[in-house]
């Protein structure tokens, strides 16, 4: 079964550094998403992306965050200047369509630790 793959599985970075989290969505999917989960808390929506632009973003997704689909297969999340509170699991997801009967498929996440 096709999968969403994320790299790296664990990223450690120093506060103030830039970090790029990478994702390869399922190949025929058109909609892409980032969610995050701070340890012990809920999974939270960050951003959705379609047709090479952001379709919706949450309040968490401020100017320090950006997303890009640099080629036909990768989808990246960049955090420009990491803060301690950015430490979390970051999940990439994709869906074939938006709407019912098109569930999101999640990757296994990248654990980001900011020291």
73 touching another protein, by CB under 8 A? no
Binder among 43, 81, 85, 113 for another protein (CB under 8 A): 43
Please state whether beta strands 53-57 and 43-50 pair in parallel, antiparallel, or not at all (unpaired).
Answer: antiparallel
User: How far apart, in whole angstroms, are the C-alpha atoms of residue 40 and residue 70?
Assistant: 32
Kindly tell me which of 32 and 79 has the beta carbon lying closer to another protein. Answer: 32
User: How far apart, in whole angstroms, are the C-alpha atoms of residue 115 and residue 108?
Assistant: 22
Give the nearest distance from C-beta 45 to another protein in angstroms: 5
Residue range at the interface with another protein (CB under 8 A); choices 11-19, 39-47, 68-76, 78-86 = 39-47
Kindly tell me which of 72 and 99 has the beta carbon lying closer to another protein. Answer: 99
- Looking from the CA of 58 toward its CB, the CA atoms found within 13 Å total 10
Please state whether beta strands 31-37 and 88-95 pair in parallel, antiparallel, or not at all (unpaired).
Answer: antiparallel
Tokens of 47: 């951003």
Residues that bind another protein (CB under 8 A): 4, 31, 33, 35, 42-45, 48, 50, 55-56, 58, 91, 93, 95, 98, 100-109
């Amino acid at each position: 079964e096709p999968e969403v793959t994320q790299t790296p599985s664990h990223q450690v970075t120093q506060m103030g550094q830039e970090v790029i989290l990478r994702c390869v969505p399922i190949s025929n999917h058109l909609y892409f998403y980032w969610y995050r989960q701070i340890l012990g808390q809920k999974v939270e929506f960050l951003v959705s992306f379609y047709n090479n632009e952001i379709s919706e973003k949450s309040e968490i997704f401020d100017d320090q965050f950006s997303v890009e689909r640099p080629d036909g297969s990768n989808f990246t999340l960049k955090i420009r200047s990491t803060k301690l509170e950015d430490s979390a699991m970051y999940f990439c997801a994709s869906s074939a369509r938006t709407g019912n009967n098109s569930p999101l498929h999640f990757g296994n996440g990248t654990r980001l630790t900011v020291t």
